[in-house]
Structure formats: C-alpha cells, structure tokens
Chains A and B, each alone.
Chain A
Amino acid sequence: MFALTARLRRVFSRPTRRRVIAGGAVLVLVAALVTWAALPERHSWTATDQMVSVLSGPSGTEPVALDTRFYLPEDHDGKVPAVLLAHGFGGTKESVSDDAESLADRGYAVLTWTARGFGRSAGEIHLDNPDYEIKDGQRLLDWLAARPEVRTDAAGDPRVGVVGGSYGGALALMLAAQDARVDAIVPMITWNDLSTSFFPGGVFKKNWAGLFFTSGSDAGNPACGRFAEDVCAAYLKMATTGTPDAATTALLRKSSPAGYLTRIKAPTLLIQGAVDTLFPLSEADANAKGIAATGTPVRVAWFTGGHDGGVGPKTDQDRTRFLTAEWLDHYVKGDGPAPENSFTYSRVAGFSALDRGLVTNGYSDPTYPGIGGTGRTDVAVTGAAQQIAAPPNGNPGALSSLPGVGGQLSSLLGGVAGDLGGQHATFASAPVGTAIEVVGSPQVKLRVAAATGSATVFVKLYDVDPTGTETLSGGLIAPVRLTGLAKDIAAAQPVTVTLPAIVRRIDQGHTVRVVVATTDQAFLTPAAPAGYTVAVEPAVSLPTVVGTPIANPQVIWRWVLLSALVVIALGAAAAYWLTRRRPTAPVEEFAETPLVVRDLRKAYADGFVAVEKVAFTVQRGQVVGLLGPNGAGKTTTLRVLMGLTMPTSGDALVFGQRLVPGAPILSRVGALVEGPGFLPHLTGYENLQAYWRATGRPLAEAHFDEALEIAGLGESVHRRTKNYSHGMRQRLAIAQAMLGLPELLVLDEPTDGLDPPQIAEMRRVLKRYATDGRAVLVSSHLLAEVEQTCTHAVVVNKGRIVASGPVDDIVGESPSVQLSVSDVAVASTVLAGLNVRDVRRDGPADLIVDMNGTPREEVVASLVRAGVGVDRVVPRRRLEDAFLALVGDNSRGSGDR
C-alpha cells in the first residue's frame, strides 16, 4: 500500500515533458468531443410557422385556417423549386418534418401543413374530398406561387412537386388530377379506391376502418370527432351493416383517386409497401395503370414496409429516398437525367445480426410488370374437399395481422398466423423442386358449396419450411364473399381468387399451403353461423419476377477492407525496409579488442543519472573486474553492453562493432546480467536446450558438456528450475552464459549465492576461460573477489571510473606504508628528516607515510634508533586506498544519492 502511494506520488509529482504533452493531448481530445456534442446542429434552411387562411369548399368561399410551416434553403441562387409535403391520416405537419428537412437540404422550398380537421388546423375531415382537402392544396399552390423565393413556370404557377404518404399520397394524386400546375408527384402507400380498400372481395375490413375512423376522433364530439357529418354518417352505416350502400360507395369513390387518374399529367412515382394490409400493392398497381393509360410517365417501387410494416429497413428507406430525390430533381428542379422506368422492389433476406432488424435485398426489373409478374409458375396443391364451419359473429376468429401495431417484426415477416380448428381447410403442395421467386398476386381456384348459397371465406397462402414452420407473407389474406353457390361441392363452379400481391422466395424443399378459413379478426363476417364445403383446384398460379439484384452500396466496404489490407501490408513492408539492419563497418582500430567502452553515460527518463562517464577496455586474455559499491552504475553499464538499454551518450564497441540493441556482434558475448532468468516449468537441462535453440546456431557449437560441468548440478539438472536454490540457479545461469564458449563473457556478480568452495572453483574456471584469446568481464562489489579472480580491475563509484588498471598495479604495493608507533610526535619528526614525501596522522597511534622510494627497513631502523617503538608496519595497497576512499566514509550505495 505504501509502496503504491509512494509510486503514485512519484508519478504525479514529476511533470516530465512527455507527461505534460500526453495530458495536454487528452485534454484537447476531451474538450473537442464535448464541444462537438454540445454545439447546436447547424441547418442549411430556415423554417417559418404560419397560420394560412385559404378559401375552399364547393363554392370556394369557405375560409379555413391551416397550420403551415415553410422551409426555405438558406443559400439559394435566385428562386428555388418547391415541394408540397402532405402528412398521413392522423398526423400533423410535425410528422413529416424529417422528410421536409431533408428535402430542404436538397435545395427545395418545402411547404408542410396540417390538413384540415387535424392538429391546430381548423375545419373538418372530408377524406381528401376534391372540394375540401384538394382545394386547400390548390390554394396552397397559389400561396407558393406568391412567394418571391419560389420559382414559377408562369404567373401564379409555381414549380412544385407534391409528395405524401397514405392520406397525403391520395392528396398528391388528386391534386395533380385537379390542378395542372403540379409538376410531379410522389404518392406513397396510398389508395386507389377506398371502397375496394375497405371492402376487399366485398368483405368489410372492420379493424382498419375502425382505426382509421378513431384517429380522427375528438373529445368535443365523441360520436363523429372532427369528421364531416357525411363522412361520419357513412362510416357509422357501413361499420354497422358491413356492406356499403350507394351513398357510402359514392362518398368513398369521391375521395378516391381512381376516378381522376386519367387527368393526371404530372410524372408520378408510386411507392407502395409490401407489408400493408390496409392499402396493399394492388392499390398502387391500379393507380399506375390508370395514370400510365394516358401516357404520363409512371414509375413504381415497392419496399418492405407499409401500414403494417412501418418505414422498413434502412436499405429500403435509402432506396425510396433516392428514387424520390431523383424524381423530384429531374421533373421539378430540372436537374439530372430522366429517371429510368425500371421497377424496383425488395425481399426480406433475414434478420440483421446486429440490431435484430430486418435485412432486405433490393432487385430491379426493366419495366413494371404489374402484380401479375413476368412469368408464372404453377404449383399443384392436393387435398380433399373439406367441411368448415363459420361460427356466429365470426367469433372466435383467426388472426392474420395486427392492424395498427405497425412495424412489428412478427407481422412483417410472417403474419401472426393462427388458424382455428374446424374453421379452416388446408391444401398443401409437395416440396417445390426449385426455389420460386414470387413477386405479385398468386391466384387460387376455389370451389365452395354452402347450404345458404353464399359464403364469406378468407384465402391465405402459406410458405411452409421443412420443419413445418408456416409463414404468411406480410399477414396478407384475400377475403372473398361468394354468392349463388351450389349446395353440393360436386356441382360447385370454380372461382378464381386473386390473393394480395407478395414478394417472397419459396425455397427449394418448402411447400405451398393454401388455407381457406371462415373467420378473420380483421374483417367483419356474417353474424349467422354457417357451414361450407371447400375444395381447391390443384393448380395454384404463382407470378414470378426474376429481378436483377440492385448493387448494394455497402459493397464499397469490401474495397475499403481490401485497401486497408493493402495499406497495412505496404506499411509493414515499408517499416521492415526502413528499419532493417544495415551492416556497419567496424572501427578497425578495435577490431580485435573484445570490449571498448567510450565515455558511456546513461540518464533515465526520470532524470536519474546512473552512469556519468565510464570508459574502459577489455583485452583478450584479461579477466577484468568491474568493482564498485551497490548502485555505482555497474549493472547499468552491463545492461548497455547487452543491448538492453540505450546509452544516453557514448558507446561500447565489441570487437570494433558498436553495441546497439540486437547488434549481431552480441552473438560473441555470453552474459549473466541481473541474476538468472529461466523458464520455471522446464528443467535446468531443458532450459539450456531451449536457450540454445533460440540462438538458432548448430547444436555442435553449444559445448553442453563443458557448460554442464561448470554448472556442477549433477542429477539436479533434470529438475525443474522453479525448485532450484538461488545458488543452483546462479550456476546454471553461468553455464548458460558460457554456452557456445563466447569470446567475451560478461558476468554480473557471478559468485552471488555460491558457497566458498564453489566460489574458489568459479575463480579457477574464469581464469581458465580467459585463455585462448577469450576475455571475461566480471562485476562485483567485493574487493577480495576481484582481487583474487581478475587480472585487471575498473573501480566505479557514483557513475564514474575511480581507478583502473592491472590488479597487480592496483592491488600491488603502494608507495604508502601504515606505521603503528608508540610515539606519533617523535616519529613524525624522525620521518620528516628522511626522504619521504608525505606523512599523515591516521588515528591515535598510526601514521600513513608515502615512502617515495625509501626502503621500509631504513625507515624502521631510523625510528627504532630514535627510540620510537614500532608496533606494525603494514604496506598499503592501492586498490584498498581507492576503494576505502570511496566507500569508507559512506556505506550507502551511490544509487541512493
């Protein structure tokens, strides 16, 4: 704990330059991130909210206040084209703000408004009635034409496209039919004829109709909400009876584009969803056919989504956005080439592994094939005629979709299939031999017999995989109301039922299952119970389209990956080439000298200078001792010699080659630095082998036997090194250093942990080793060891050389003598008369005398003659002089300085 706090304190108390730079960089990064997150988003447009009062109604004189928002691109050159953007049923101008913003980003003036009867707009809901909502739209075109920023084709005629989904989509169609000033339209997921949408096959789509109606409700009028009286009355009537009367049908027709399609001259991009039980693909098909009949350009796109499926997967959103922009750019803005006429659609490919969303693949076909496909495949289903019962009031009812839930995965993928026993008949095919790409409306021939002569049934087409899991594409089913039926199935005439259009690949091995059910919760069924007999003709006709897969823009990432790999490979190659070792010429002068250290200095990052200035030479045949107290800088010097540490300045030459980390010349050096280092899980012998294998040199050069002999471990060499004593490890490490008999042997405190006989043996070994032109460098803090082992010595202290030379010179007799005398004062006088150089007091009875060549016996004789008693005459030795001078007064290591 203390150690930790001490270290922390050290880390924080020394603001070195590197720490300051690193800390600064982190600060800047954090600040940038915070700023980026906190800065308000910048828009390229301005938006103005305004209540606009328009005159509409049959007479064109009824004022109604509409809640509008006008988006204007900020940097526009001159006048900009406009887009009238309408929202869906139950929405407001807010619900299209995202689309409005992205259109404004593309340089369009965008006018959004809340339709009458919704939100803050006044008026009542007339269901896209030409006299009301559509006329409102016309007045908004007038308003746009009056804006100075909006481009016009003629006075009062703005350059404008109309875009909208569902309720807004129908408005776009009908506005284009009613007003020739509209230049292009993009109606999405909208209807062709409300009477077929709400009464498909003559059966009331009660669930959706109810949701549709209640989304216009209002607390002020619980019965009718903000609906216009006639609309409300029509709904109440049709929801009660389940069959539209003439007035209701007329009202629904009036609110449907179906009757006005031939008047549409604006190029039309129809976008419809394949997961939409409210306005299925057939509605867009009818619109497309009706508009195209007069030669107006029409393009159709399907996506995986809709009133049940929501906005669809990202790829689909991107595609429809792109198509919309392309359409508007060409037909409204006048930019870009004419869009192709191709038909695009998408098919579910599976789940995204990351966000569990759906993944779809886009396909295109050169022309729009309609809902009949470009080809047809017949699949034979079998099954005997079956009797099924319709319960009273259709309760309990089967479940095929969940209207209004919107975008639920389950309904998107396979519907919420649930058929009830006794209420459905099943007809299944054999597993299909090859996959069928169904794109369009399948057709089934049905024979139904009923005692009452009429029947309401629901026909569904399931894709059943080999495990028996059945999937109802998009939850789409075909309700059929049949009348004039035979009582006996044998007499029943086949009726062709066209199922809702789907996009699905029926894989090889899957079966097609046709189910005829008597109930469905989404539809109103007759209140009276009934029994039917149902049979299906074998041939089920499946429309097919083999589309061309649309190039996935994500493919770009493959190229990114490839380029990343290439860049990394090139970078690695460049790094290798730049850092490869170029052989350096040796310093010829020292080519035969095992080691030359020149003015070595090592300062650590924290400022500590371990080696101030060290220079010495090791010649062949020498055993050089590097002597110094602990922390004198010996180990640091040796680390530099091993290429483990880079010197701050100066260098070391081994046989003339500069020592840098990994210098090949190190192969001529054997080392023991800072204690042994072995793989603990290997035996001593295995360690030596592993070490030698790592040198990559031939086994024969290792001289294992000599090394093992030096180690002297006996049988213990086959024990794991983690069980070794300190001394055993030390001997093994010396043996490892001697493997291959390197020409220079560097040993750091080799006798550490050895017992006296082993030390004696080691001395002999080292002396013997330095023959044959080899050299040994031994570091030690023990004077005696160096004295006994080495031929030469280098004494270091506090990172500096204090003395160096042959041990004999250093250790040999020095000119000084230590005299212990009985009377120091007299002796000093006597000595002063002799030819000596220096006399120093050293303690109460001792003198140190520099003899200056005067023989010792002469000095002793003179003293005795003068009556001074001589107790001891001790010749001083130089190394001792030096060493004691260094450490005598301070026992602390220089590393502590």
Chain B
Amino acid sequence: MISGYSPSRTLPIGAEIRRQASRRRTQLALGFMVLLPLIILLAFEFGGGDDDDNGGGAFSSLVDLATSGGLNFTLFALFVSSSFLLVVVVALFCGDTVASEASWGSLRYLLAIPVPRARLLAVKLVVALGYSLTALLTLAGTALLVGTLRYGWHPLGSTVAAEIPAGEGLLRLLGILGYLAVMLLGVAGLAFLLSVLTDAALGAVGGAVLLWILSSILDQITALGGIRNFLPTHYSDAWLGLLSTPMQTDDVVKGAISAVCYAAVFWSMAFYRFTRKDVTS
C-alpha cells in the first residue's frame, strides 16, 4: 500500500457528487423539478375555465383545490408527479450511476485505484439517493414557493376531512414527502440492481421504469386479490391517508415495510453480484 492511500478514503462522497453534478442529465433532471411547478402554475393561470369533470372519486378534488393555497398547490404537484415522473427521475439517478461508468470504461479505472467494490457501490448509492431526495425536495420546495407566492398561505384543504391549519399542513406535507421518499426506495433498489447487472445505462433506467409500470398495471387487476399486497407499487398512494384527520397511517406503515424490504433485497443482490463479478467492460 502506498502512503496516502486508504481504502476508506477512496472515492469520497464529494468526489462522486461532483462526478454526477457535472453531467447534463443531472442538471436537466433537477432543472425540470424546478420547471414543473412553474408549468403547472402557468397551466392554471392560462388554462381557461374549461370545466371538464374527471369524476375520479374524492381525490380528483385535489385538482379543484390546487389553487386554494401554496400547500394545496404543492400537494397537487406531488400528486401528479408521484406516480410516474418521480419514478423516472429516481430510476435515472440510481439506474444510471454504475452502468454509465461501465459504458464509459471508467469503472475499471476506479476499481484499479483501487476503490473497494463495496465502497464504490455504497458511495454511488448514497449519492444517487441524495440526488433523488434533492429532486423530490426541489420539486416540493419550488411548488411550495411559487404556490404560496401566487395563491397565498392557506390551510391545507381536502374534501375527505376537515381543513388542516397551515402549520400542521406543512408537517403533513413533510410526512407525505417522507413517505414518497421511502416508497421510491423500491424503484431506487430495482434500478440500482439493474445498473449493476448491465453495462447499458438506458437498459437499467428503462428496465426499472418498465417493471414499475408493470407492477402498477398488475395492481389495477383486482382479480389478483391478496397477491397485489406484495406488489411494490401497491401502497404507492397510501400517502393520501395522511390528509385525513386523524391520519390513516396503517397503509403508510405497510407501504414503508414493503418499500424497505424490496430495497433491502435489491441492494443486497446488487452488492452480492457486484463484489463477485468479473468487470469486463
């Protein structure tokens, strides 16, 4: 071992953050998180009064309430992006991170430094999760900012329960963000596993999103009965329960169990595979 080298100091978190920050896709993804609330805001402002009823149960009223205050605007922005956009963004950050290094050929030089394989994965995972969380918080923060500036600071409204005072509403919103973050661990785990298994970044990201959509579709088929409870997306809407008073946390807890278990399994597989495989790219 050469002086100055220590396995635990290789690939510092900061270095990995900089590696990713300089990439266009990181900048675009985070930029879009800022842009989306603005687009929604513009759509509300210039969308005209085209009243078409979407008649989709009690939660369609989230749309009607979206302009009632900054908190509701944020809630709406999360509502529309949680099922797909955030999944894609998380899959992008977590699925691309190892596979892209492999496709550039830079992975083998990192391993030859040597960055211990487990450390490389751990750092990559932490940074990818960090970027995912940043994206989520950026979206919510921007939405809260522009929503509050435009529509004011008002209680959080929903038709299923009493209005929630703004202060508590903010806490609920944080709770929802926390749950979404936990829920997205599932897709993060899947994308990361695929990222380790393949050298094609697109395959990892696309594969994770594809499997996620498949799970969502299966979840729509009520004939599957109890099996649906084991789908990783089954509890993805449970955060809506946090809007009622008192909060319904049963499904939130189950969703968290599901997401944490899936993520743990996927990550274990990723670590197991990566620490043993021949890096041929």
Residues of A within 8 A of B (CB): 349-354, 356, 359, 361, 465-467, 469, 507-510, 552, 554, 557-558, 560-561, 564-565, 568, 571, 575-576, 579, 581, 604, 639, 642-646, 661-669, 671, 673-682, 686, 690-691, 693-698, 701, 736, 740, 742-743
Interface size class of B (residues with CB under 8 A): 35 or more
Complex: how many Å from CA A674 to CA B104? Answer: 12
5 smallest CB-CB distances across A and B, nearest first, come from A677-B105, A350-B244, A353-B240, A696-B9, A667-B5
B4 and A351 contacting across the interface, CB-CB below 8 Å: no
- For the complex formed, measure the closest distance between the CB of A575 and the CB atoms of chain B, giving whole angstroms: 8
Contact between chains at A693 and B12 (CB < 8 Å):
yes
Stretch at the interface among B83-91, B106-114, B134-142, B145-153: B106-114
22 A–B contacts, CB within 8 A, in A order:
A349-B245, A350-B245, A352-B241, A353-B240, A356-B58, A359-B244, A467-B157, A552-B250, A557-B250, A564-B261, A565-B260, A581-B116, A645-B278, A662-B115, A671-B112, A673-B112, A677-B107, A693-B18, A694-B15, A695-B5, A695-B10, A696-B6
Which of the residues B4, B261, B264 comes within 8 Å of A697, measured between beta carbons?
A: B4
- The distance in angstroms between the C-alpha atoms of A690 and B21, with both chains bound, is 12
Cα A681 to Cα B21 with chains together (Å): 11
B245–A507 CB distance below 8 A: yes
Q: Please indicate the chain A residues that have their CB under 8 angstroms from the CB of B157 in the complex.
A: 467
- B246 and A666 form a contact (CB under 8 A): no
User: Is the CB of B47 closer than 8 A to any CB of chain A?
Assistant: no
Closest chain B CB from A76 CB (angstroms): 29
In the complex where A642-B111, A681-B23 touch, is A561 in contact with B279 (Cβ < 8 A)? no
Known: A662-B114, A693-B12. A554 touches B245 (CB 8 A): no
Q: Is the CB of B246 within 8 A of A690?
A: no
Contacts of B24 in A (CB 8 A): 681
In the complex, A682 Cα to B110 Cα: how many Å? 16
In the bound complex, residues from chain A placing their C-beta under 8 Å from that of B2 are: 667-668, 697, 740, 742-743
Most chain A CB within a 10 A radius of its CB, from B19, B254, B278: B278
Told that A639-B280, A668-B1 touch, could you supply 10 new A-B pairs with CB distance under 8 A? A467-B157, A508-B162, A509-B162, A557-B254, A646-B278, A664-B7, A667-B5, A667-B113, A678-B104, A680-B104
- B241 / chain A contacts, CB cutoff of 8 Å: 350, 352-353, 359
Known contacts A663-B114, A667-B114; decide if A356 and B106 are in contact (CB<8 Å): no
Bound-state Cα–Cα, A571 to B238, Å:
28
User: How far does the alpha carbon of A560 sit from the alpha carbon of B114 in the complex, in Å?
Assistant: 39
Q: Which residues of A contact B280 (CB under 8 A)?
A: 639, 644-645
Instruction: Please measure, in the bound complex, the distance between the C-alpha atom of A664 and the C-alpha atom of B246, giving whole angstroms.
Output: 55
Q: Give chain B residues whose Cβ lies under 8 Å from the Cβ of A510.
A: 162
A353, B105: Cβ atoms closer than 8 Å: no
User: What are the interface flags for B237-278 relative to A under an 8 Å C-beta threshold, 1 for contact and 0 otherwise?
Assistant: 111110111101011011011001100100010010001101
Candidates A558, A675, A701, A743; contact of B105 at CB < 8 Å: A675
What residue of chain A has the Cβ atom nearest to residue B252's Cβ?
Answer: A353
Contact of B15 among A467, A644, A693 (CB under 8 A): A693
How many angstroms from the CA of A606 to the CA of B12 in the assembled complex?
37
> Which chain A residues lie closer than 8 Å to B109 at the CB level?
671, 677, 691, 736
Q: How far is the CA of A349 from the CA of B240 in the complex (A)?
A: 13
On whether A561 and B253 interact (CB within 8 A), knowing A662-B7, A668-B2, A695-B5, the answer reads yes
Q: With A678-B104, A691-B109 as known contacts, state yes or no: A696 contacts B264, CB within 8 Å.
A: no
A330 to B264 alpha-carbon distance, docked (Å):
46
Q: B residues touching A (Cβ–Cβ < 8 Å)?
A: 1-2, 4-7, 9-12, 14-16, 18-19, 22-24, 57-59, 104-118, 157, 159-163, 234-235, 237-241, 243-246, 248, 250-251, 253-254, 256-257, 260-261, 264, 268, 271, 275-276, 278-280
- Complex-state Cα separation, A646 to B253, whole angstroms: 43
A255 CA / B110 CA spacing, docked (Å): 87
The residue that B10 contacts in the complex, of A507, A565, A639, A696, with Cβ under 8 A, is A696
Chain A residues positioned under 8 Å from B240 (CB to CB) = 351, 353
Q: Across the interface, do B160 and A467 meet the contact criterion of CB distance under 8 Å? A: no
Chain B residues positioned under 8 Å from A467 (CB to CB): 157, 163
Which residues on the A side are within 8 Å of B18 (C-beta)?
690, 693
Q: Which of B1, B157, B234, B245 has the most CB of A within 10 A?
A: B1
Give the Cβ gap from B240 to chain A, nearest Cβ, in Å: 3
**Shortest Cβ distance from A664 into B: residue:** B1
Give A571 to B254 CA distance when docked, in angstroms: 21
Residue pair A554, B104 in contact (C-beta under 8 Å): no
Contacts of B105 in A (CB 8 A): 674-678
Residues of A within 8 A of B110 (CB): 694
CB distance A681 to B5 under 8 Å? no
| C-alpha spacing A697/B113, complex, angstroms | 10
Complex alpha-carbon distance, A349 and B248, angstroms: 8
Docked Cα-Cα span, A465 to B1, in Å, equals 72
Please give, as numbers and ranges, the residues of chain B lying within 8 Å of A639 by CB-CB distance. 278-280
Judge whether A642 and B108 touch: CB under 8 Å: yes
Task: Report the Cα distance A561→B118, complex, angstroms.
Answer: 26
Task: State whether B1 touches A694 (Cβ < 8 A).
Answer: no
Across the interface, which residues of B come within 8 angstroms of A693, CB to CB? 12, 14-15, 18
A643 with B112: CB separation less than 8 A: yes
A507-B260 in contact (CB<8A): no
A519–B49 Cα distance when bound, in Å, is 36
Residues on A with C-beta less than 8 A from B235 are 354
A561-B238 Cα distance, complex, nearest whole Å = 15
User: When chains A and B are docked, how far (Å) is the Cα of A568 from the Cα of B263?
Assistant: 10
Contacts A674-B108, A694-B113, A694-B115: A350 and B161 contacting too (C-beta < 8 A)?
yes
Task: Please report the C-alpha to C-alpha distance between residue A469 and residue B158 in the assembled complex, in whole angstroms.
Answer: 11
- Select B162's contact among A465, A561, A695, A701, beta carbons within 8 Å: A465
Chain A, residue nearest B244 (CB): A350
Expressed in whole angstroms, the Cα–Cα distance for A466 and B155 within the complex equals: 11
Contacts of A643 in B (CB 8 A): 111-112, 114
Q: Which residue of A353, A565, A579, A742 is within 8 Å of B251 (Cβ)? A: A353
Question: Which residues of A sit under 8 angstroms from B253, Cβ to Cβ?
Answer: 554, 557-558, 560-561
Residues of B within 8 A of A645 (CB): 278-280
Report the separation of the CA atoms of residues A772 and B108 in the bound assembly, to the nearest whole angstrom: 28
CA distance A646 to B117 in the complex (A): 13
- Chain B residues with CB under 8 A of A682: 22
> Measured between alpha carbons, how far is A94 from B274 in the docked complex, in Å?
59
**Complex CA–CA separation, A349 to B245 (angstroms):** 6
Minimum CB–CB distance for B214 against chain A, Å: 17
Q: Is A662's CB under 8 angstroms from B161's CB?
A: no
Bound CA span A697–B11, Å: 10
Is the CB–CB distance between B250 and A679 below 8 Å? no
- A668 to nearest B CB, angstroms? 5
In the complex, the chain A residue whose C-beta lies closest to that of B158 is: A350
User: Cα distance A895–B117 when bound, in Å?
Assistant: 29
In the bound complex, how far is the Cα of B4 from the Cα of A665, in angstroms?
Answer: 12
Q: A354-B251, A510-B162 are in contact. Are A697 and B5 (CB under 8 A)?
A: yes
User: Can you name the residue of chain A whose Cβ is closest to the Cβ of B261?
Assistant: A564
Interface centre among B24, B234, B253 (most CB of A within 10 A): B253
Closest residue on chain A to residue B106 by CB atoms:
A677
Task: Tell whether A696 pairs with B5 under 8 Å between CB atoms, given A349-B244, A579-B118.
Answer: yes
